[in-house]
Amino acid sequence: MARIFAREGYDLALVARSEQKLNELAGELKAKHGTNTIVIAKDLNVPSAPDEIYEALKGVTVEALVNNAGFATYGAFAELVLAREQEMMQVNMVALTHLTRLFLPAMLARRSGKILNVASTAAFQPGPLMAVYYATKAYVLSFSEAIAQEVRDQGVTVTALCPGPTATGFQKAADMERSKLVQSGLMDGRAVAEAGYQALVQGKTAVVPGLRNQILSLVVRFFPRAMAARMAMNAQSAVGH
């Protein structure tokens, strides 16, 4: 996503936990596109991080806010570590909401700005074996659609990007590489980022990249919720189970 925004002429503020990796990316973007980059090393699991990010950008006009930090856990909810589930809710929902609230007023005041929140096709149904993750993404989609309606005709747009399984480090971090859903194929990360960027530019409220993902996100709405949960349970189960 950062490479796409740099290609399109944006200067950037990059936020992640690893300052070294951020500096390496900033150097790459400067060399290739002449991009000026502010590096902010923060862990969004820390409740004070959004305020600290906002303070670090005082005096900077933020034209586009991309909330794409997130992670998942995999397994039966009763067996997962509670602290990790709470951290997931903090990163996937609370930090995203906090950052949106901090940066949105200035956008509205100048009647210019765009927000991209990364949800998931998980937002459209319950997700056994990833129960909390699916719930966080349902929140992101609902929140984004609601705020998009609130700011209509005020020069600001809010877009929810809802990708399906995508080739990033996400699956390995969640220890879910053995699930049937992952084994069935992953979408290219660059293609997902391009779809998100184009939807942002066009001011779409939501976008689901990939034909298979689009079909599945539509079809699941016609099933009873219990049936959708059973289907998700089967898809999430490890290969051979």
Judge whether 139 counts as a catalytic residue.
no
Residue 143 token pair: 């929140």
CA distances, 95 to each of 27, 119, 123, 179, 238 (Å)? 27, 14, 18, 28, 31
Residue with token string 């390995």: 172
For the chain, the distance separating the N- and C-terminal CA atoms, rounded to the nearest angstrom, is: 36
List Cβ neighbours of 54 (8 Å cut-off, separation of 6 or more).
99, 102, 103
Per DSSP (E only), the strands in 60-183 are 64-67, 113-118, 156-161
Q: Which of 133, 134, 139, 197 is catalytic?
A: 133
> Which residues participate in catalysis according to the annotation?
133
